[in-house]
Amino acid sequence: MIPVKTLAGLTGFVTRREGKKFLKLGESVDEKLITPSGLGENTAPSLYIHIPFCRSLCPFCCFNRYLFDEGMARRYFRHLKRELEIYIDKGFKFSDFYFGGGTPTVLMDELTGFIKLLREKFNVKQISLETTPREITPETVAALKNAGINRLSIGVQSFDPVILKSMGRISSTDKETEEILLMAEGQFDTLNVDFVFNFPEQSVKQFEADVAHFKELRIDQATFYPLMASPHKKDAMERKFNRISTSREKEFYDVIIRELYEKGYHASTAWCFSRGERMIDEYIVEDDDYIGIGAGSVSIVGGNFFVNSFALEKYGEYIESGRLPVIGWRRLTEKEHRRYYLLTKLFGMKLDEGDFHRRFQADISRELPLEMLFFRTFGMISGDGQIQVTKKGMYPVSVMMREFFAALNGLREYCIEHQV
């Protein structure tokens, strides 16, 4: 019997190698490739909207974010609207929207104005939005509710003040965080709380306490992110914290399996656990195609991968010259596209063979025979037609996604460092 950790290591290794291929980008983008033509009705893309400003910058964070400055943020929202208009002019239609960051709530008047614009232009089905606990007040909750946010995600990271301090987060007592969460509880279709696990100074016991506390609050959903550090960030973090290692990661993941998955929480993804069916913010799982707008966003349209400029100045220059701010693109090979599909669906815990066939006009067992054989032989997936990730497969799938993000983080880091 091969241990799950070894299987996870293997799948993770292969995924990182695949992910790195995404980084080999062409520069001169043919904007004609970014078109809704050819995307079928059931492959309508979602729209991801990146708001890259935060009131303070957490040292562990791997996203494209800048210290909040009101003037810069207002200018950015103007640019976002113009970028959206370029997509509208191209004929794109969206109904599912995901605001991420950074901290999308840093300028509530701009945010609600943007949501109003979305409602004027599209038939809005659902909106997900993320923010930090320090942004949550009765006024923000009321304004977000009024704006029709369906899913609110709050990045708690941990309830433990010592861990929060070492994460560089504004330290608050667990009681204070609890009060903040209870302010938002029941106000949205879905309330999600984000946690990070396998942080260098975090013990499994401390994490167990976080999971127990989450359960006591009876909140709908929690997303657990394994700490991800790109090579450069890793060096910087290791100078600040202890050594970053994935050797303990499975012990943390086992807590999630034991305390949530085996206790009736539904695995919406390998990282997201919900009571009942809930909205998730993993548009990469739900939709085969998606457009990302804003600095550092990425898009996948019809097998093409596009990357937006990360630098605010450069992003603004593109927009002001009436162009999409795309700085790199890659046409995925058929194999890469199918493997990417497999990864995202397994991350979402299920793959419908019929959907695969409709998407690629081919059978998955013929297209990805080795991959399917490997997952089946080692009991990581089960079922025919409707393929399910098994409990045994969950940790390897989590590692695959972590490795894929780690590869993308390498791209983010390069772009942020070189202000591309």
Structure tokens of 416? Answer: 């942020």
Q: Can you say how many angstroms the Cα of residue 374 is from the centroid of all Cα atoms in its chain? A: 27
Q: Can you say how many angstroms the Cα of residue 397 is from the centroid of all Cα atoms in its chain? A: 15
Select from 179, 178, 131 the least CA-distant residue to 154: 131
The option from ligand SAM, ligand SF4, none interacting with 57 (CB < 5 to 8 A, set by class) reads ligand SF4
Integer Cα distance of 174 and 159 in angstroms:
5
Build a one-symbol-per-residue string for 113-152: x at contacts with ligand SF4 by CB under 6 A, - elsewhere. -------------------x--------------------
- Report DSSP letters for 229-263, one per residue: --HHHHHHHHHHSS---STTHHHHHHHHHHHTGGG
Q: What are phi and psi of 191, to 5 degrees?
A: -110, 125
Q: Which range binds ligand SAM by CB under 6 A, 77-85, 220-228, 286-294, 389-397?
A: 220-228
Count Cβ atoms within 10 A of the Cβ of residue 355 and give its class: 0-12 exposed, 13-18 middle, 19 or more buried: middle
Q: Which range binds ligand SAM by CB under 6 A, 2-10, 56-64, 115-123, 158-166?
A: 56-64
CB nearer to ligand SF4: pick between 92 and 315: 315
Build a one-symbol-per-residue string for 334-363: x at contacts with ligand SAM by CB under 6 A, - elsewhere. ------------------------------
CB nearer to ligand SAM: pick between 103 and 299: 103
Q: Binding of ligand SF4 at residue 106 (CB under 6 A)?
A: no
Encode 181-231 in three state secondary structure: HHHHCCCCCEEEEEEEECCCCCCHHHHHHHHHHHHHHCCCEEEEEECCCCH
CB nearer to ligand SF4: pick between 15 and 157: 157
Q: Binding of ligand SF4 at residue 236 (CB under 6 A)?
A: no
Question: Which positions from 114 through 133 interact with ligand SAM, judged by CB under 6 A?
Answer: 130-132
Q: Binding of ligand SF4 at residue 54 (CB under 6 A)?
A: yes
Among 164, 227, 260, 408, binds ligand SAM (CB under 6 A): 227
Please enumerate in sequence order all residues whose Cβ is within 8 A of that of 39, keeping only pairs 6 or more positions apart, or say none. 45, 289, 301, 302
Cross-strand partners of 352:
386
- Report DSSP letters for 37-68, one per residue: TT--GGGPPEEEEEE-EESS--TT--S--EE-
CB nearer to ligand SAM: pick between 86 and 279: 279
Cross-strand partners of 51:
101
Q: Binding of ligand SF4 at residue 63 (CB under 6 A)?
A: yes
Least distance in angstroms from the C-beta of 56 to ligand SAM: 10
Build a one-symbol-per-residue string for 73-112: x at contacts with ligand SAM by CB under 6 A, - elsewhere. ---------------------------xx-x---------
Structure tokens of 285? Answer: 């799982």
Integer Cα distance of 130 and 151 in angstroms:
8
CB nearer to ligand SAM: pick between 157 and 309: 157
Among 11, 15, 103, 246, binds ligand SF4 (CB under 6 A): 103
Q: Which range binds ligand SF4 by CB under 6 A, 15-23, 52-60, 184-192, 404-412?
A: 52-60
Q: Which helix (H) or strand (E) holds 328?
A: strand 326-331
Least distance in angstroms from the C-beta of 166 to ligand SAM: 14
Among 36, 45, 102, 325, binds ligand SF4 (CB under 6 A): 102
Cross-strand partners of 266:
274
CB nearer to ligand SF4: pick between 61 and 407: 61
Is residue 261 a contact partner of residue 269, using CB atoms and an 8 Å limit?
no
What does the binding site for ligand SAM look like in residue numbers (CB under 6 A)? 60-63, 100-101, 103, 130-132, 155, 157, 194, 196, 225, 227-229
Give me the residues that bind ligand SF4 (CB under 6 A), please. 54, 57-58, 61, 63, 65, 101-103, 132, 155
